[in-house]
Chains A and B, each alone.
Chain A
Amino acid sequence: MEKFEIIRTGAVPMPIENIDTDQIIPARFLKATSREGFGENLFRDWRYDSKGEPKQDFVLNNSRYRGQVLLAGKNFGCGSSREHAAWAIYDAGFRVVVSSYFADIFRGNALNNGLLPLQVTDEVLQRLFALVAADPQTEFVVNLPEQELCLPASGERIPFEIDPYKKECLIKGYDDIDFLVSQKEAITAYESTRAWTY
């Protein structure tokens, strides 16, 4: 996993609620057996028409919006557990998704891939949408060590929560598997003392 650095970037706004992982990456693109290349089909059916032509009204096809922050409506990533959704977003160049809440499985998948699910309040989210609508060049600084989303134009600093262990993993580029493998002794000890085994 890549280390998560402080990011200074623009945002791509998608003010739609309940964006499910079938929209992020449709099932027909899940036939690959590697983790690479899913970015090409990110939001495939919103982004391209049935002939494969870019839909002009979709934000990813609008060159005014650029950046590593995806700004999305509440309950982002609901539905299928496909980690391909996190891979596709990351592969397309995003490092942060900002929403007012995330579906649980997507949140975990994002964190396991160096993609930061940054949760803000509904009120803040609406304000961020308004800022980006007014000025597509609006700059964001995502400072993970300080747990702040900063808006350089106004100097505003919006704090966010993250599990301390997950924060450290992101910053150092570690994932859970490294930690779990180090717990092997405790796991075998647990197995030998269980009251009921299957």
Chain B
Amino acid sequence: MKKTLFDKIWEAHVVRSIAGGLDVFYIDRHLIHEVTSPQAFDELEARNLPLYNPAQIVATADHNVPTRNQHLPIQDQLSRFQVDKLTSNCEKYGVELFGLGHPNQGIVHVIGPELGITQPGMTIVCGDSHTSTHGAFGAIAFGIGTSQVAQVMATQCLLLSRPRKMRISVEGELRKGVTAKDLILYVIAKLGTGGATGYFVEYAGSAIRSLSMEGRMTVCNMSIEMGARGGMIAPDETTYTYLKGRPHAPQGERWEQALAYWSTLYTEEGAEFDAELHFDAADIAPMITYGTNPGMGIAINSTIPASVPASEAASFDKSLQYMGFVPGESLLGKEVNYVFIGSCTNSRIEDLRQVAEYVKGKQKAGHVEAIIVPGSKQVELQARQEGLDRLLADAGFELREPGCSACLAMNEDKIPAGAYCVSTSNRNFEGRQGPGSRTLLASPLVAAITAVEGKIVDITQYLN
């Protein structure tokens, strides 16, 4: 039987199958951070279990760290305690930690790829739902709960049933001003927030192939927002060019051997999926969300749906009431006070370049607070080396230090109650960016233009 990319990697990681369709499934790389790991370390301790192999784990502090003055002790006592706990656990168990102040520190899903830790054919897990990001390299990568974090720590394995397979093909060329973020917001809007629950998605087609690695990561990152267990893209020259020479990537002869193996990782002609969806890249416009789940997205110059099926009406009304919008209206002209550019979805160098290029020589609107939180110390450094920091500062944008920041507002970076924030992050849930905050998800380009104009505009009118 013809195999999919997913089948090949899954089957290469089955230690054994047990009755009832469950597989003992081997994990190559385990990424951990301060929020979802402490209880797992405690569990090892409580059960008197050793860590299976510290060399397969990489740790960083990202969710709960300040984005200003990272050289100073963390002010928030609980946050400091949690970050300290990660440090002491990593020391105790011999886990490599890219903690605050380390030149490799950053958002876990940004540093894995940029250090070459993430590689094609791998299985990668992390106690974070956006682990799907790493699927951009042709890996099976997915988020897990803390009990599973402990399981991987103790055994390097998980007990899993094999998910169903979905292929989403996007063919053709993306229009001007339409980015990877718009592509995935469009797909999620089509499927709905739970539309891919139970599936592992492979993204394919010429529009996907033509994306950079950064763009592919943005797409795979948001797979979870339609309920998918993960998303992946077959590795190709773009993948290899990105990885070559990165610190953890194979070197020399080993690189050649890796390439030979990685080039076998693709879906064979005629392989079957449980579901197949096709989209035309030309149909995709710059997107924005209007509601309180990522499936509530529209083309920026269109209107909020006037009505929804009766069974969904209560949730739809609740959502619009929270957002302060009415059915059928346009978002164009809505004043925005906050713009957040960051998160594991859009905080990579390409995102920062795109923003800097647009705002060069312009000025943000006076009533807008525009913050940019780079995904990692490496991204921050590169932005400074390329002079992006100056361009951004001249335009009134504040470049911060790396972390998850206002994507989930665990640190002090919060959007005030009632305020609108155009955000390049991945979730617009109620209160996600702070109690009462109202989030509109969009691409870095839409975010940059919004910051300059101070309101939602039809960005296609602003591109040269």
| Residues of A in contact with B (beta carbons under 8 Å apart) | 15-18, 20, 22-23, 26-28, 30-35, 45, 50, 73-75, 78-84, 86, 101-105, 108-109, 112-113, 122, 126, 163-165, 175-177, 179-181, 183-184, 186-187, 190-191, 194-196, 198
Contacts of A50 in B (CB 8 A): 417, 435-436
Q: Are A180 and B409 in contact (CB under 8 A)?
A: no
**B400 contacts partner chain A, Cβ-Cβ < 8 Å:** no
Q: Are B24 and A177 in contact (CB under 8 A)?
A: no
Give the residue among B63, B78, B81, B85 with the most A Cβ atoms within 10 A: B78
For the complex, what is the distance from the CA of A75 to the CA of B197, rounded to whole Å? Answer: 8
Contacts of A180 in B (CB 8 A): 24, 151, 154-155, 157-159
Contact of A165 among B20, B295, B409 (CB under 8 A): B20
| Residues of B in contact with A (beta carbons under 8 Å apart) | 12, 15-16, 18-22, 24, 26, 28-29, 35-36, 38-39, 42-43, 47, 49, 63-64, 76, 78-79, 81-82, 85, 119, 121-122, 127-129, 143-148, 150-151, 154-159, 161, 163, 193-194, 197-198, 224, 227, 229, 258, 261, 293, 295, 311-312, 314-315, 318, 408-410, 417, 427, 429-432, 435-436
A-B contact pairs, 21 of them (CB 8 A): A16-B314, A27-B408, A27-B410, A28-B410, A34-B42, A74-B194, A82-B35, A82-B36, A83-B36, A83-B127, A83-B145, A104-B229, A105-B144, A165-B159, A180-B158, A183-B24, A183-B157, A186-B16, A187-B156, A190-B26, A195-B261
Contacts of B128 in A (CB 8 A): 80-81
CB distance from B311 to the nearest CB of A (A): 8
Contacts of A181 in B (CB 8 A): 49, 154-155
User: Across chains A and B, which 10 residue pairs bring their CB atoms closest together, nearest first?
Assistant: A75-B194, A83-B145, A33-B38, A109-B145, A112-B147, A31-B78, A81-B143, A81-B129, A180-B155, A83-B146
Contacts of A109 in B (CB 8 A): 145-147
Q: Are A104 and B261 in contact (CB under 8 A)?
A: no
Contact of A164 among B20, B78, B129, B197 (CB under 8 A): B20
Q: Are B24 and A20 in contact (CB under 8 A)?
A: no
* Contact A163 B20, CB 8 Å, known A22-B430, A50-B417: yes
CB-nearest residue of chain B relative to A194? B12
CB distance from B212 to the nearest CB of A (A): 24
Contacts of A84 in B (CB 8 A): 146
For the complex, what is the distance from the CA of A165 to the CA of B19, rounded to whole Å? Answer: 8
Contacts of B417 in A (CB 8 A): 50
Contacts of A104 in B (CB 8 A): 163, 197-198, 227, 229
Q: Are B129 and A35 in contact (CB under 8 A)?
A: no
CB distance from B404 to the nearest CB of A (A): 9
CB-nearest residue of chain A relative to B123? A198
Q: Are A187 and B144 in contact (CB under 8 A)?
A: no
Contact of B431 among A26, A179, A186 (CB under 8 A): A26
CB distance from B372 to the nearest CB of A (A): 21
Contacts of A113 in B (CB 8 A): 147
CB distance from A165 to the nearest CB of B (A): 5
Q: Are B197 and A103 in contact (CB under 8 A)?
A: yes
CB distance from B258 to the nearest CB of A (A): 8
For the complex, what is the distance from the CA of A177 to the CA of B76, rounded to whole Å? Answer: 34
Q: Are B159 and A79 in contact (CB under 8 A)?
A: no
CB-nearest residue of chain B relative to A189? B15
Contacts of A15 in B (CB 8 A): 314
